Structure 1
């Protein structure tokens, strides 16, 4: 699993901010060609994406293209897919047909530029009621889809409410994305940006909540949000030690033909041991990344 704890947006028409984003410790940077870029700046922004591919970086580089119902997406993909790009973020995803079409467009550019088939990752953003209802078919539409992302601001606009700090209005949608991702056997979804960049306490509380729901990772819109989000999706020292003890104890028991034990007064069986192994695997992956 490629850890994607934090994905930082950077406007595609501001090269200084893109360059800065690529020097930070976000697991991924998403250069935005959509909402952050005026209509008159789309072409220039694509040129900046290509320029950004030449910058040394410590993170994965994605580009958020314009939505399928615009006149820009084909030019976006034709002009920015080059060696060095890690993936494409598709806004306002609402159908399997749309995902397959974008998959085909990406495949044409992979061939054109000598990239292996399936090289580029695809992350659809679910931002509408229709997208939530169709989350499973979107998640299953292409092997290129590694994970879903949630866009709460547009989603709440679509259902006639607003994104609150309690998150009551998006609980169902978030749960749907987690369930659809698991059913499609892709990575857990990444959560919506937290819009109040000065409220780090609120960001932390909300991110802990979505981690418990089954999300792994969050879209972030300001550098100050990166570290808190990374920390929440990184196992703590206590979690690591507990996982190590669970795995060791269960392996010893299994070698003696026992598949259910108690540790510190808690029941341990195959699912619990599997969870502990995933924690240790994640720690190793993060260690290799750093």
Structure 2
């Protein structure tokens, strides 16, 4: 298992054969979806199939996205899935308040006790407005992220650029709360790999780290986009060598200025470069 996850592959909970394939596709995390990917008349089956699968540990971390917390299926999801030994985390959709996260943390207790890792998905204007409050709601919370399809509909934005303020808001909230950088929301067109790569490059520039996917063919594109290039790695190594040789701010022979913040960024680059 890699230290820094970059790829999160969704699979519908009512299709166990698709979940089984997802577990072998090379994703850092597999997310079994009980919410949007499952029709209402298949919810009970998806829940049962997922609980059965997670009776055993899996070869990669498995998260489960439960149904909306204010809907009719969430309580049954939490009761069936939270105690499963093979579960690594729960993903909570459409979170709008810290109280929702705290409530799940109280109710979703692993079989062996302790805390179950939670991730909050912010998919409405209200959720984005409360991003920092949600991010600091509970010690079990391991991350926040956007659900851009629902957010786009809620905001009524005309194009992709209309989401950039919300994206930056969530990146800043995660950092301020001491959480890892958020992963990008899914790119829904599974055949548009060029568009996916361009979108990942934009997300990286905004401070995201990694991305959710809905098809295995998207995984290598996401990984390439978020791993440092050879040039970036060599630049980071140069900075670390210079910082090791001389303490304090300094200028490199090529004119680049190096201080503590630049060194910290270089260390993050090298950590990503060595992730495998």
Deviations 1:104-159, CA, capped at 9 Å, x for gaps:
112xx32xx114x12x3211111000011000101110122222111111001111
Aligned positions of 1:86-125 closer than 5 A: 86-106=88-108, 109-110=109-110, 113-115=111-113, 117-118=114-115, 120-125=116-121
- Measured in 2, the distance between the counterparts of 1:178 and 1:263 equals 34
Unaligned runs of 5+ in 2: none
Per the alignment, residue 137 of structure 1 pairs with 133
Per the alignment, residue 279 of structure 1 pairs with 269
Contact residue 16 and residue 49 of structure 2 kept, 8 A: yes
Runs of at least 4 residues off by over 6 Å: none
Contact residue 250 and residue 261 of structure 1 kept, 8 A: no
Displacement of 1:9 in angstroms is: 0.7
Aligned positions of 1:28-107 closer than 5 A: 28-53=29-54, 57-81=58-82, 82-106=84-108
Unaligned runs of 5+ in 1: none
Contact residue 56 and residue 85 of structure 2 kept, 8 A: no
Contact residue 58 and residue 86 of structure 2 kept, 8 A: no
Report the RMSD for the aligned CA atoms in angstroms: 1.6
- Measured in 2, the distance between the counterparts of 1:4 and 1:238 equals 22
Aligned positions of 1:11-26 closer than 5 A: 11-26=12-27
Change (3 A) 1:263 1:142: farther
User: Could you say what secondary structure the match of 1:147 adopts?
Assistant: strand
Aligned positions of 1:133-172 closer than 5 A: 133-161=129-157, 164=159, 167-172=160-165
Aligned length: 274
Say if 2:243 is the partner of 1:243.
no
Say if 2:225 is the partner of 1:232.
yes
User: Could you say what secondary structure the match of 1:37 adopts?
Assistant: coil
Per the alignment, residue 191 of structure 1 pairs with 184
Change (3 A) 1:264 1:51: farther
Given the two structures, how large is their TM-score scaled by the length of structure 1? Answer: 0.90
Given the two structures, how large is their TM-score scaled by the length of structure 2? Answer: 0.94
User: Could you say what secondary structure the match of 1:67 adopts?
Assistant: coil
